Amino acid sequence: MTYKSVTEILEAIKKKDISATEITKEYLKRIKASDDLNCFITLTEDSALNRAKEIDKDISKNNLKPLSGLPIAQKDIFCTKGVKTSCGSKMLDNFISPYDATVVDKLNEAGTIMLGKTNMDEFAMGSSNETSFYGAVKNPWDYEYVPGGSSGGSASAVAARISPCSTGTDTGGSIRQPASLCGICGLKPTYGRVSRFGMIAFASSLDQAGLFTTDALDAAVLLKEISGHDPKDSTSSTVEVPNYHDYCINSDKKNFTVGIPEEFVNDLNDDVKNSFYESVKILENIGCKIKTINLKHTGLGVSAYQVVAPAECSSNLSRFDGVRYGHRSKKSESLESLYRESRSEGFGKEVKRRILVGTYALSAGYYDAYYLKAQKVRNLIAQDFSQAFEKVDLILGPTTPDKAFKIGEKMNDPIAMYLSDVYTVSTNLAGLPAMSIPMGFKEGMPLGLQIIGNHFDEKDILKLSYLYQKETDWHVQEPGA
């Protein structure tokens, strides 16, 4: 099978060159052959094949939907009706969701076929996919390396070409960082662009659903389908959803003013720096104007993030109490021990660490010093960006300070782990859209280029990525080729 991208697959199905069943079988076969990557927590083979059959029936009646027959992998953070939704945690190892998340619902409506649920850091807390109850996911470029996290399974699967696309969620970089480390495209839309309903909450004011694809056009096609206001999510936006794909293809916009924040490039190692400035040159050749800018509060981003995210998580994860669903300890004898034992057994180390930090940050007497101060920093960071966007259309930088690290390398150093999010967290704090696209390699491992846009300006991020990918071939390189 030679179809490489989402758009190619959709075109082939439309032309009836291949059936939904054939393509689904092909990807299921690939998934099984790459079992050692540990990308999937749950494989939904039977339901995928059944659904493929139905879709083929629809196609034979010329009832074609925008994504008819497209196989997709769902991050196990999205609730899927009748299917285990574990969020990478022992706590939800026995949880079968009674409902579909809005993102899942919309993708189903658009005609996709779910292949399975992908592995992830427990409750999306991690940057390496090593905190999963289901074990670490491997980077297909080198199995000794992490794929990044928290959406490690989704990223690794697309990079390994065992799924043409997948969903992810991004709270501090959980889509862009693994996309960067795996050499694929990872799009985190504007906060509010995509409904959070049915996406298990980590830090509600930062969480945003997004996508992994191999190229920008694919992301454009998928983004249109998952975006839009959801009456079930009060924080979802009513801003109109454009046709991103047509904009990429048809708009003749080229001369973007692109800002490079000094804070993003000052401390880069030579390999990353070289790759980055080669990319900058390509953009200049396309017709972009490059401007040096400042985001002077960027350095405070990780600190603010490490207060806000744990604070919200400490509250969001209170519902996992062993009472109504999820893990219940056999050792529970009293109400208090039911809570204590169930949560002690059900949550892993990193989740416990964040619950404790967050609980502390919200406690009487500490709230002002931590939570409130972090919110103030957050406002300053957002201000930096809005001032920058008065001068530039898009902001550019590396997605991560370095290539992927080895499995086990940073597990005992949480601060070093948190710092791998240094270029990604500030966009979450400001609610901005951003995308990581492949920009080269260091010692055989991929590097990512991050493009940040103004609120709801996903279309220009996608357009610039599309233009860049017309001039480069990083995104078509496959691991093990």
- Strands 257-261 and 289-293 turn out to be parallel
- On the 0-12 / 13-18 / 19+ scale of CB atoms within 10 A, 274 is middle
As measured in angstroms, the least distance from the Cβ of 245 to another protein is: 29
470 is known as an active-site residue: no
CA pair distance 34, 28, nearest whole angstrom = 10
Q: Which residues contact 252 (CB under 8 A, 6 or more apart)?
A: none
Mask for 348-387, x = binds another protein (CB under 8 A):
-----------x--xxx--x---x----------------
Q: Is 93 in the site for another protein (CB under 8 A)?
A: no
Q: 3-state DSSP call for residue 350?
A: helix
Rounded to 5 degrees, what are φ and ψ at 456? 65, 20
As measured in angstroms, the least distance from the Cβ of 364 to another protein is: 5
1, 33, 335, 356: which one contacts another protein (CB under 8 A)? Answer: 335
Give ∠ CA 407-175-374 in degrees, rounded to 5.
Answer: 95
Q: Is 456 left (phi over 0), alpha (psi -120 to 50) or beta?
A: left
Going from the C-alpha of 232 to that of each of 98, 127, 323, 367, the distances in angstroms are 16, 29, 25, 30
85, 298, 399, 465: which one contacts another protein (CB under 8 A)? Answer: 85
Q: Is 201 in the site for another protein (CB under 8 A)?
A: yes
CA pair distance 318, 343, nearest whole angstrom = 9
Q: Is 325 in the site for another protein (CB under 8 A)?
A: yes
As measured in angstroms, the least distance from the Cβ of 256 to another protein is: 32
Of the residues 89, 150, 151, 426, only one is catalytic, namely 150
Answer for the pair 467, 255: CB distance below 8 angstroms, yes or no.
no
Stretch that binds another protein, among 22-30, 127-135, 319-327, 437-445 (CB under 8 A): 319-327
318, 337, 386, 387: which one contacts another protein (CB under 8 A)? Answer: 318
Q: With contacts defined by CB under 8 A, how many residues of the chain interact with another protein?
A: 44
Q: Is 101 in the site for another protein (CB under 8 A)?
A: yes
CA pair distance 441, 181, nearest whole angstrom = 10
Of the residues 75, 138, 224, 459, only one is catalytic, namely 75
Answer for the pair 216, 248: CB distance below 8 angstroms, yes or no.
yes
Q: Is 346 in the site for another protein (CB under 8 A)?
A: no
Helix 20-33 vs helix 6-14: angle between axes, to the nearest 10 degrees?
Answer: 140
Cβ closer to another protein: 104 or 272? 104
- How is residue 308 written in tokens? 């806000």
Amino acid found at 25: K
Stretch that binds another protein, among 136-144, 250-258, 285-293, 310-318 (CB under 8 A): 310-318
Q: Is 199 in the site for another protein (CB under 8 A)?
A: yes
27, 40, 78, 385: which one contacts another protein (CB under 8 A)? Answer: 78
Length of the chain: 481
Residues 224-243 that bind another protein (CB under 8 A): 231-235
Answer for the pair 435, 188: CB distance below 8 angstroms, yes or no.
yes
6, 73, 79, 307: which one contacts another protein (CB under 8 A)? Answer: 79
150 is known as an active-site residue: yes
Q: Is 323 in the site for another protein (CB under 8 A)?
A: yes
318 is known as an active-site residue: no
Q: Which residues bind another protein (CB under 8 A)?
A: 78-79, 85, 87, 92, 95, 97-99, 101, 196-201, 203-205, 231-235, 311-312, 314-315, 317-321, 323-325, 335, 339, 359, 362-364, 367, 371
The residues annotated with a catalytic role in the active site are 75, 150, 174
